[in-house]
Structure 1
Amino acid sequence: MWTVRGKVRVAERSEAVNALGTKVVYEGGTVMDMYLRGVEGPLATAKWWTALDSDSAYILRFHQVDVIELYGEE
């Protein structure tokens, strides 16, 4: 698995639920730092995580955000 940290903008209103069942709604235009995590294969299968901890992270699909800046690998 690989991980890259970056600044992203949520493309449109999106809901996400963490492993503990807590739901959050991100409005389109929200800017935040996230981690893109994936495995070998198509980049579009990678997902954006709010944290590296799988219990507390909210996860958005690749197409739900626009990349503003990539900071580098974690």
Structure 2
Amino acid sequence: MRLKTLIRQIFNDSKQSAGARTVVTILANKHEITLTRYLVSKFMKGMGLMSCQLKTCLNGAWWALVSQTLPIAL
């Protein structure tokens, strides 16, 4: 689905730091697509995408979060 691909691209372009609210804003401003943050959150959860800011990732759980978002096959 094109929408899920776009959400994944936005998430990856943000270096896995964009949450649902940020993705919704980027979709609205750059792509003129209006979605609720709840729907985007549901898509992200279904795709296994979890936002991770640098300050929260330094506690040792960083690699566990990153490894969950890495694509299996390119």
Normalized against structure 2, the TM-score is what?
0.26
TM-score, structure 1 as length reference: 0.26
Question: Which structure has the highest strand share of the two?
Answer: 1
Bigger Rg over Cα: 2
- The structure showing larger relative contact order (alpha-carbon pairs under 8 Å, at least 6 residues apart) is 1
